[in-house]
Structure 1
Amino acid sequence: MEHLEIERKFLVVSDAYKQEAISQVRIAQGFLNTDPERTVRVRIKGNQGFLTVKGPSNSSGTTRFEWETEINVTEATNLIDLCEDVILEKVRFEVPLGNHFFEVDEFLGENKGLVIAEVELKHEDEVFEKPKWLGDEVTGQPKYYNSQLSKNPFLQW
């Protein structure tokens, strides 16, 4: 499925989101290509596989082209074996708030200790309710992109 992805990213300052979450799933993902102009990601989310291509971000870092298709887990596992450097592992919590859902990623492995929340929007200046566990905004800061965390993990900062 192809669309423009409009999202904002924030650091998370407490684990209060866990009590508000309606689901959680373990994710493993790797990158076949981390060029900022065309990132190619392989993801295993629960028992589903996905192949995703993302284009460059706009100047504010909020919007970019995204194409994703579901693939079977065996294919995804085989593709992850071809990926660059570090395979990202995280637990994603889905937290509803108002008319939006926050996806809170609690990173594991080389990125343990990093927790990032994302909210997807319909347009860049859309107003949304901010939960009290939301910290500083990191939208558009490349070091927080998953593709960069696979090259320069949080524990090495």
Structure 2
Amino acid sequence: MVEIERKFLVLSDAYKQEASAKIRIVQGFLNTDPERTVRVRIKGEQGFLTIKGKGNDTGVSRFEWEKEIAVSEAEALLKIAEPGSIDKFRYEVQVGNHTFEVDEFFGENEGLTVAEVELNSENEAFKKPVWLGEEVSGITKYYNSQLSKHPYKSWETR
């Protein structure tokens, strides 16, 4: 139940031509405490409840538990979520042996696009596509839980 994930800014929309899937995600948070976040998500036609723990020193590894729930339950939980929500399209892009999940944000986070890749170990090598930019792993302002409270459009310097 430990997620090892690296996050990067995206330099261009070239990933869209390489994507094998595109799905809309709407999510909110029942708790955004840095020690433990509780997320409610509707991903396409599925609902999910996810708990994430605090990241390690590198910000690459952290506890994650996820359970599929009925969409009607997710919709009900979103109604009691903390203020602020996330609306994005997620693209899945196969690069070498890894799948990058590229999130293109909308609403108050429009203009931000990030890519994540899950790994089996923190030091696992992976092929970096040409559209992959600066690494932002462990930088909390890029966490969805923080983007829901402090959206990208409100940042003074980006």
Q: TM-score, normalised by structure 2?
A: 0.98
Q: CA deviation at 1:48?
A: 0.2
Gapped regions of structure 1 (runs ≥ 5) = none
Task: Name the CA distance, whole Å, in 2 between partners of 1:151 and 1:60.
Answer: 23
Cross-structure match for 1:7: 5
Cross-structure match for 1:145: 143
3-state secondary structure, aligned to 1:147: helix
Cross-structure match for 1:128: 126
Amino acid aligned to 2:96: G
Amino acid aligned to 1:152: H
Q: What root-mean-square deviation, in Å, do the aligned CA atoms of Structure 1 and Structure 2 show?
A: 0.4
Task: Name the CA distance, whole Å, in 2 between partners of 1:108 and 1:84.
Answer: 18
**Structure 1 segment 81-100 matched on structure 2, within 5 A:** 81-100=79-98
Amino acid aligned to 2:9: L
Corresponding position: 1:47 with 2:36? no
3-state secondary structure, aligned to 1:118: strand
Number of residue-to-residue matches in the alignment = 155
Amino acid aligned to 1:145: Y
Cross-structure match for 1:57: 55
Q: TM-score, normalised by structure 1?
A: 0.98
Q: CA deviation at 1:115?
A: 0.0
Corresponding position: 1:113 with 2:111? yes
Task: Name the CA distance, whole Å, in 1 between partners of 2:120 and 2:54.
Answer: 18
Task: Name the CA distance, whole Å, in 2 between partners of 1:30 and 1:37.
Answer: 17
Q: CA deviation at 1:58?
A: 0.1
Task: Name the CA distance, whole Å, in 2 between partners of 1:43 and 1:20.
Answer: 25
Amino acid aligned to 2:117: V
Cross-structure match for 2:154: 156
3-state secondary structure, aligned to 1:22: strand
Task: Name the CA distance, whole Å, in 2 between partners of 1:131 and 1:28.
Answer: 27
Cross-structure match for 2:71: 73
Task: Name the CA distance, whole Å, in 1 between partners of 2:119 and 2:129.
Answer: 16
Amino acid aligned to 2:141: K
Amino acid aligned to 2:71: V
Cross-structure match for 1:103: 101
Q: CA deviation at 1:85?
A: 1.2
Amino acid aligned to 2:51: V
Task: Name the CA distance, whole Å, in 2 between partners of 1:6 and 1:16.
Answer: 25
Amino acid aligned to 2:48: F
